[in-house]
């Protein structure tokens, strides 16, 4: 166990619902780590178990080698930034931040120094005497962060830290959180359902689904090599094709027979047996559309189809292309397409192509 | 809402309740004060002319122990009721909707029977031949000749019993609006369960606490049925004296003088509390 925060085979059920199902995670010291997943995936339950508001049914939670599974929240070296901030309305900003230090009975001078330093860190010194109700959403959140960090927790938990903010403020606070994490160097654990947030805030992300961890990886690895179709769809968009491995080629490539499409050649990450049924994943932006058949070669997968629908998004355009029974989403940047000549209108016959390296084989058990 | 139009509209909406308060509260209150300055007449009514003679009765040192007893009985009742109502309202606000409705029903159920009947029920319950006394004697918790009735303790007990719902209901109303995730935050920041309760929940429902305290204290001050039925001869409260002046002595001005003094004793502290709250709010806003 080399991790700083270790989740060791932790399970938690509510009635017949297994909210967290045998989860194992290791988070390094100073790491920014996200628990990402849809609502009900168990990420919040896991966070509440780390904070101490829920007890695991089985398994252990360790911080810096100490088993904290059975400590009450007030004795854990962990502090939380709550989703709704949970600032004490009857206390000033200053007193809110001082609360934790007062509870641990620190001397007066230390409290004053600590609170003032925190106020400076989150740039709220001139609002010290205000009540939480007089602050904006972004300011409240900074108070909540300061109130947690002033206790010098070993792990800072942030529950949907940006969910309550509007879009512009969210983008701003995203940068602020990253800066803050660099400044204080504490281990940050984010809980979020927003993949964009998780990708831009974290060093590593654990994608959770139905109480289980699907995959733990850096943002880029999660996007580029998702191991399951759940991860592939939760992080970004994806086209899926179910097929059968028909022919192995050297250097880890495999040819897959897909009914109604053809037999594209794809990179196989991991062992794929012959005649094994599997699932292919191609990101919409990895697909090219051309009016003419691309120059043929072993390494290009090209299939003829018809443009069914076009949606213009400014920075890119999305095409829905019908190939037999399949519907493929392709996302193109305008400049990219200009190389191929005119943009295909609705109903145009086009060639859809992708490079074997851009397709991924994902686990089939999520095929449903 | 700060425009002159908006203000006048607000006044218009408030008018019916203001009229109600004026007719049924302010005018009777003024009448009581006015009557205190009238001489009594022999038929038990109010004589003509003006006098300050009745006010002299307030100087009667015989009232002092009664005033003192009334004050501490009401004060103690208030304290005990708040102490009991705080955890109760905390729990009621935390349980599920169904359980909450059931518990609230239990709180309100005593109101379904008449106040006098409930006090009378206590009288027979505490009676030397009553079930409670017999049970306690059987359990050897009190001696054979124990007297549970006709003493101050019994008065205090029944006062607390009758006033408790008036403490629970406003406190529950405040607790229901309380954001219980604040208690998680308090625990997270190192406060144990007790300190979370006292440092976060209690200040969080302080407005409910103030209304509960005022409700219980004020309505305890005016009690005269309980000391009369449950208490002994020496356990009178100020309300008993007022009732005595009205019904036995048939001296309305004398009763009015006592009632007016009691009323002022209640209104002045309430005015102070209101001002303090206003001041507190202004301070918070600055």
Which of A195, A216, A231 corresponds to the end of one domain?
A231
CA distances from B40 to B60, B244, B245, B252 (A): 18, 15, 11, 7
Model confidence over A66-105: pLDDT tens digits? 999 999 999 999 999 999 999 999 999 999 999 999 999 9
Interface touch B195/A99, C-beta < 8 Å: no
Q: Is the pLDDT score of B264 beyond 70?
A: yes
Interface touch A80/B188, C-beta < 8 Å: yes
Classify A99 in phi/psi space as left (phi over 0), alpha (psi -120 to 50) or beta: alpha
**Percent of chain B whose predicted confidence (pLDDT) is above 90:** 43
Q: Note whether A280 and A182 are same-domain residues.
A: no
Domain with A290 in it: 237-362
Please answer whether residues A145 and A110 qualify as being in contact, where contact means their C-beta atoms are separated by less than 8 angstroms.
Answer: no
| Out of A51, A79, A103, closest to residue B191 by CB | A103
Pairing of strands A187-192, A32-36: parallel
**Residue A242 belongs to a domain:** yes
Q: Is A51 on the interface with B (CB under 8 A)?
A: yes
Q: Note whether A244 and A152 are same-domain residues.
A: no
Q: Note whether A27 and A104 are same-domain residues.
A: yes
Q: Is the pLDDT score of B4 beyond 60?
A: no
| pLDDT band per the 50, 70, 90 thresholds, residue B286 | very low
- Report helix angle A167-184 to A137-149, nearest 10: 20
Q: Note whether A89 and A221 are same-domain residues.
A: yes
- Tell me what pLDDT residue B69 has: 92
Model confidence over B23-66: pLDDT tens digits? 998 999 999 989 888 888 877 788 888 888 877 878 888 888 99
Which of A216, A231, A246 corresponds to the end of one domain?
A231
For residues A148 and B145, which has the higher predicted lDDT (pLDDT)? A148
Q: Note whether A224 and A244 are same-domain residues.
A: no
Q: Note whether A223 and A258 are same-domain residues.
A: no
Which sign does the torsion angle of CA B131, B132, B135, B136 carry? negative
**Residue A110 belongs to a domain:** yes
Which of A198, A231, A264 corresponds to the end of one domain?
A231
- Tell me what pLDDT residue B70 has: 92
Residue at token pair 């920075």: A315
| Out of B182, B191, B284, closest to residue A86 by CB | B182
For residue B205, give every residue at least 6 positions away whose Cβ sits within 8 Å of its Cβ, in sequence order, or none. B86, B89, B171, B174, B175, B178
Could you tell me the strand order of the sheet in which A301-312 lies? Answer: A288-290, A349-354, A301-312, A317-323, A326-332
Tokens read off for A124 = 């709220």
Q: Is the pLDDT score of A366 beyond 50?
A: no
Residue A286 DSSP SS3:
helix
Q: Note whether A246 and A227 are same-domain residues.
A: no
Model confidence over A119-138: pLDDT tens digits? 999 999 999 999 999 999 88
Reported pTM: 0.81
- Tell me what pLDDT residue A368 has: 38
Phi, psi at residue A366, to the nearest 5°? -100, 10
When mean pLDDT is compared across A78-92, A334-348, B74-88, B227-241, the lowest value belongs to A334-348
Q: Note whether A258 and A218 are same-domain residues.
A: no
Tell me the CATH number at A285. Answer: 2.40.50.100
For residues B111 and B172, which has the higher predicted lDDT (pLDDT)? B172
Residue A131's closest chain B neighbor by CA? B284
Interface touch A74/B191, C-beta < 8 Å: yes
- Tell me what pLDDT residue A103 has: 95
From the candidates A51, A83, A89, which should be mutated to test the interface with B, based on the most B CB atoms within 10 A?
Answer: A89
Mean confidence (pLDDT) of chain B: 88
Tell me the CATH number at A159. Answer: 3.40.50.300
Residue B232 DSSP SS3:
coil
Could you give the number of structural domains in chain A?
2
Please answer whether residues A238 and A231 qualify as being in contact, where contact means their C-beta atoms are separated by less than 8 angstroms.
Answer: no
Model confidence over A106-121: pLDDT tens digits? 999 999 999 999 999 9
**Residue A367 belongs to a domain:** no
Domains of chain B: 61-246 (1.10.3720.10)
Q: Is the pLDDT score of A214 beyond 90?
A: yes
Residues of B in contact with A99 (CB under 8 A): 186, 189, 191, 199
Q: Is A82 on the interface with B (CB under 8 A)?
A: yes
**Residue A212 belongs to a domain:** yes
Q: Note whether A202 and A67 are same-domain residues.
A: yes
Q: Please tell me the distance in Å from A26's CA to the nearest CA on chain B.
A: 22
Report yes or no for ipTM above 0.95.
no
Q: Note whether A258 and A322 are same-domain residues.
A: yes
Residues of B in contact with A53 (CB under 8 A): 184, 187
Q: Note whether A355 and A334 are same-domain residues.
A: yes
Q: Note whether A106 and A43 are same-domain residues.
A: yes
Residue A134's closest chain B neighbor by CA? B285
- The 8-class DSSP code of residue B25 comes to I
Burial pattern A143-177, b for ≥16 Cβ within 10 A else e, equals bbbbbbbbbebbbbbbbbbbeebeeebbeebbebb
Tokens read off for A44 = 């919040």
- How many Å apart are CA B256 and CA B214, to the nearest integer? 22
Please answer whether residues B269 and B213 qualify as being in contact, where contact means their C-beta atoms are separated by less than 8 angstroms.
Answer: no
| Out of A86, A134, A148, closest to residue B181 by CB | A86
**Residue A368 belongs to a domain:** no
Provide mean pLDDT across the span B200-211. Answer: 93
- Tell me what pLDDT residue B13 has: 87
Residue B280's closest chain A neighbor by CA? A90
Residue B207's closest chain A neighbor by CA? A90
For residue B103, give every residue at least 6 positions away whose Cβ sits within 8 Å of its Cβ, in sequence order, or none. B91, B92, B95
Dihedral angle of Cα B147, B150, B151, B155, to the nearest 10 degrees? 120
Interface touch B189/A151, C-beta < 8 Å: yes
Please answer whether residues A281 and A291 qualify as being in contact, where contact means their C-beta atoms are separated by less than 8 angstroms.
Answer: no
Q: Is the pLDDT score of A57 beyond 90?
A: yes
Provide mean pLDDT across the span A218-241. Answer: 90
Closest CA to A278 of A303, A255, A304, A310: A255
């Amino acid at each position: 166990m080399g991790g700083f925060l270790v989740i060791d085979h932790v399970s938690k059920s509510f009635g017949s619902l297994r909210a967290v199902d045998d989860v194992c995670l290791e988070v390094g010291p100073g790491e920014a780590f996200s628990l990402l997943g849809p609502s009900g995936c168990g990420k919040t339950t896991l966070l509440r178990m780390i904070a101490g508001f829920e007890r695991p049914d089985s398994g252990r939670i360790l911080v810096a080698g100490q088993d904290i599974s059975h400590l009450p929240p007030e004795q854990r070296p962990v502090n939380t930034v709550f989703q709704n901030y949970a600032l004490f309305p009857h206390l000033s900003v200053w007193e809110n931040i001082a609360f934790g230090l007062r509870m641990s009975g620190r001397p007066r001078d230390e409290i004053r120094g600590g609170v003032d330093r925190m106020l400076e860190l989150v740039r709220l010194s001139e609002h010290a005497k205000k009540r939480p109700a007089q602050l904006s959403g972004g300011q409240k959140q900074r108070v909540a962060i300061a109130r947690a960090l002033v206790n010098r927790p070993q792990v800072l938990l942030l529950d949907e830290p940006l969910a309550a903010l509007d879009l512009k403020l969210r983008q701003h606070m995203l940068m602020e959180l990253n800066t803050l994490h660099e400044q204080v160097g504490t281990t940050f654990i984010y809980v979020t359902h927003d993949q964009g947030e998780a990708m831009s805030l974290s060093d590593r992300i654990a994608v959770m689904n139905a109480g289980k961890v699907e995959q733990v990886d850096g943002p880029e690895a999660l996007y580029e090599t998702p191991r399951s179709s759940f991860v592939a769809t939760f992080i970004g968009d994806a086209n899926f094709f179910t097929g059968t491995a028909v022919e192995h080629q050297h250097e880890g490539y495999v040819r897959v027979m897909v009914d109604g499409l053809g037999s594209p050649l794809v990179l196989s990450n991991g062992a794929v047996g012959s005649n094994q049924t599997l699932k292919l994943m191609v990101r919409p932006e990895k697909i090219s559309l051309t009016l003419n058949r691309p120059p043929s070669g072993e390494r290009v997968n090209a299939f003829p189809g018809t443009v069914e629908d076009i949606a213009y998004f400014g920075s890119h355009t999305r095409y829905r292309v019908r190939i037999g029974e399949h519907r493929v989403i392709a996302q193109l940047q305008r400049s990219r397409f200009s190389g191929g000549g005119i943009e295909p209108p609705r109903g145009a016959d086009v060639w859809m192509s992708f490079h074997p390296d851009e397709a991924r084989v994902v686990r089939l058990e999520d095929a449903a | 809402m700060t425009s002159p139009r908006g203000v006048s509209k607000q006044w218009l909406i408030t008018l019916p309740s203001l009229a109600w308060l004026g007719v049924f509260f302010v005018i009777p209150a003024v009448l009581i004060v006015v009557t205190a300055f009238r001489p009594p007449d022999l038929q038990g009514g109010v004589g003509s002319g003006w006098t300050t003679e009745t006010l002299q009765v307030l100087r009667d040192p015989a009232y002092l122990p009664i005033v003192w007893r009334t004050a501490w009985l009401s004060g103690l009742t208030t304290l005990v009721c708040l102490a009991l109502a705080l955890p109760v309202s905390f729990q009621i606000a935390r349980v599920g909707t169904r359980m909450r409705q059931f518990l609230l029903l239990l709180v309100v159920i005593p109101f379904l029977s008449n106040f006098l009947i409930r006090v009378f029920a206590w009288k027979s319950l505490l009676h030397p031949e009553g079930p409670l006394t017999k049970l306690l004697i059987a359990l050897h918790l009190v001696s054979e000749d124990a007297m549970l009735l006709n003493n101050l303790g019994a008065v205090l007990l029944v006062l607390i019993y009758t006033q408790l719902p008036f403490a629970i209901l406003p406190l529950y109303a405040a607790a229901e609006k309380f954001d219980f995730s604040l208690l998680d935050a308090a625990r997270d920041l190192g406060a144990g369960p007790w300190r979370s309760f006292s440092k976060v929940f209690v200040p969080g429902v302080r407005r409910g606490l103030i209304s509960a305290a005022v409700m219980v204290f004020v309505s305890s001050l005016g009690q005269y049925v309980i000391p009369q039925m449950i208490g002994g001869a020496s356990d009178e409260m100020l309300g008993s004296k007022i009732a005595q002046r009205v019904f036995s002595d048939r001296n309305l001005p004398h009763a009015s003088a006592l009632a007016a003094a009691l009323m002022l004793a209640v209104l002045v502290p309430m005015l102070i509390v209101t001002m303090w709250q206003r001041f507190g709010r202004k301070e918070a806003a600055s």
